[in-house]
Homo-oligomer: A and B are copies of this chain.
Amino acid sequence: MANPPTSIQDTPEKDADVGGIAADRLRSIIERVERLEEEKKALSGDIKDIMQEAKSAGFDAKVIRQIISIRKKEPAEVEEQETLLDLYRRALGM
């Protein structure tokens, strides 16, 4: 293993078995999850920056979100939902 555990230096075995726990395996799992969560957080920050750029360029952030949501759906689904939305609104006098 290239990366030895950083705090359990006193274990000569391949995986430091502490209290029946495979410490290296556990540490590896936790560090990988933490790294991926850091990356997710960075991406969320990037998205926030782009939406800020959009607002600065005069676009409406909520409407951009609606566009993205529409693009995720099948065109047939979008059309059916818009037809129903119109129908329900008219039924409700909206």
Contact = CB atoms under 8 A, between A and B. Distances in A.
Report, as a range, how many residues of chain A touch the other chain.
35 or more
Interface of A (DSSP majority class): helix
B33 A51 contact: yes
A76 interface: no
Contacts of A91: 4, 8, 16, 18-19, 21, 23, 26-27
A66 B81 contact: yes
A32 to B, nearest CB: 5
A81 B63 contact: yes
Interface string A27-42: 1011011101101100
Nearest to A59: B26
